[in-house]
A = this chain, B = another copy of it.
Amino acid sequence: MSKPTPISGFPEWLPPQRMIEQYVIDRLRRTFELYGFAPLETRAVEPLDQLLRKGETSKEVYLLRRLQADPDAAASAGDDALGLHFDLTVPFARYVLENAGKLQFPFRRYQIQKVWRGERPQEGRYREFLQADIDIVDRDELAPHHEAELPLVIGDALASLPIPPVRIQVNNRKVCEGFYRGIGLTDPDAALRAIDKLDKIGPQRVAELLMSTAGAGESQAKACLSLAEISAPDASVADAVRGLGVEHPLLDEGLAELVVVLETAAAHAPGLCVADLRIARGLDYYTGTVYETQLRGYERFGSICSGGRYDDLASAGADRFPGVGISIGVSRLLGLLFGADALSISRPVPTCVLVALPAESDRPAGNQVADALRRRGIAVEVSPSAAKFGKQIRYAARRGIPYVWFPGVDGEPDSVKDIRSGAQQPAERSTWSPPASELTPTVSGGSAAAAD
């Protein structure tokens, strides 16, 4: 077999990077659970018709086919109609519909899983990547205060990581739609899709799009752009919108909801949220608050965490489950931060102590030392060989293991050496502990973190 090579778009971390990723996942979980979100996983596959409900993303789907499938049998078994999920929202909506009778509503869940998209890979865009989602769904009606709660969860979750502070940009689809209707546009979705392109193509070309695709006249296009320019950290956003002189009941409703989101966030963490009325989110299913998230100092990365309220994603017949959700792009965030050398870990192994062996025949005694330390929560390896002590110490150093334990011989006490300082002292296997800060590896922001 020849030496294998990476597959473009399918990233794999080295062990220290994977340890950082695991640490990040654990911290996110911790916050999600503090807010009462239960863990959930869905299968990796969905029937193709489920995956294509949103239409737009059909080109990204990976279909499955059994290598030895009999073409006729496969078709009848439905095997060739399964594809890998490309996000966690569509599978979650399907799961809620399928299990509604067994769930308590409002239902709060978090879901941290890989997703797959057959897109052309580029920097920070993968074909296989990890997402961390939270959603709240209710039956029939979802109270809007849930839209104000999610930024608190995300704010706490991301603040628990050694990454720069974030700013969550919020908007409300009702503000946009109400405004567009208030100025007489009849296809607000088309207008929203045009505004969504503002960052990419600029105001001049968005104005042209509004006129060519959304039926806007020149002054209507200008009004849409004026709305999109509004940004404010507090209730003044409503005054700024009203200053444009447009009226519509949906606009009023959206502004009231938007202000609650901003005020709830400000009471929790000042500066966390800002209303940014250019935030549109391209996909069609959002119906209320929408979110994007920037890492301060890394705005060039784009949004690392996005979502919104959806009213019609999980519906079957008379059953309707409106929801609100937000998704952290974990692989994307880590890939970009690894690339910027902005995350590091204190050691690349869990191991805190290496038990040295005077001779291979001492391995059973070494195992006993290791057992005694492990029972008290200290991660230990027994030396892989009874080489000269200098070589065993170099092995620990190469692995990044901070302490080497020397079992006492001829009735002498055991001793432990901090191989960084060289300090060695007698130690009791039933009582010795490393400093708490060294018990497990610690993750920190790298020195190369961008200035805020």
Contacts and interface: CB of A to CB of B under 8 A. Distances in A.
Interface of A: 1-7, 10-15, 18-19, 21-22, 33-45, 47-48, 50, 53, 58-69, 79, 82-84, 94-95, 97-99, 102-104, 106, 108-109, 114, 116, 118, 128, 138, 143, 145-146, 149, 152, 156, 263-264, 267-268, 315-317, 319, 348-351, 360, 363-364, 367-368, 371, 374, 377-382, 384-385, 398-399, 401, 440
B64 A68 contact: no
Contact of A1 (B53, B79, B108): B53
Contact of A13 (B41, B360, B377, B380): B41
Given A67-B118, A118-B69, A36 B316 contact: no
Q: Kindly name the residue among A36, A95, A114, A367 whose own CB sees the greatest number of chain B CB atoms within 10 A.
A: A36
Contact of A348 (B38, B58, B66): B38
Contacts of A1: 53, 97, 315-316
B351 A381 contact: no
Contacts of A363: 145
Contact of A4 (B2, B97, B146, B317): B97
A44 B106 contact: no
Contacts of A138: 384
Nearest to A315: B1
A44 B103 CA distance: 30
A61 B50 contact: no
Contacts of A108: 349, 381
Given A3-B98, A67-B59, A316-B3, A18 B43 contact: no
Contact of A40 (B15, B45, B398): B15
A152 B368 CA distance: 12
A426 B82 CA distance: 55
Q: Kindly name the residue among A68, A95, A118, A350 whose own CB sees the greatest number of chain B CB atoms within 10 A.
A: A350
7 contacts: A1-B315, A7-B45, A19-B38, A36-B380, A44-B128, A64-B65, A104-B398
A277 to B, nearest CB: 24
Contact of A104 (B22, B377, B399): B399
A97 B44 CA distance: 28
Contacts of A35: 374, 379-381
Given A40-B15, A349-B38, A63 B67 contact: yes
A116 B38 contact: no
A69 B83 CA distance: 14
Contact of A41 (B12, B267, B315): B12
A127 to B, nearest CB: 9
Contact of A45 (B10, B102, B109): B10
A443 B352 CA distance: 29
Given A38-B18, A68-B58, A364 B4 contact: no
The 7 closest A-B pairs by CB, nearest first: A36-B351, A36-B381, A33-B350, A66-B118, A10-B43, A59-B68, A61-B67
A379 B63 contact: no
Given A348-B38, A364-B264, A316 B43 contact: no
A50 B5 CA distance: 11
Contact of A44 (B114, B146, B382): B114
A177 to B, nearest CB: 24
Contacts of A41: 12-13, 18, 21
Nearest to A22: B39
Q: Kindly name the residue among A19, A67, A68, A79 whose own CB sees the greatest number of chain B CB atoms within 10 A.
A: A67
Contacts of A37: 350
Nearest to A59: B68
A314 to B, nearest CB: 9
A64 to B, nearest CB: 5
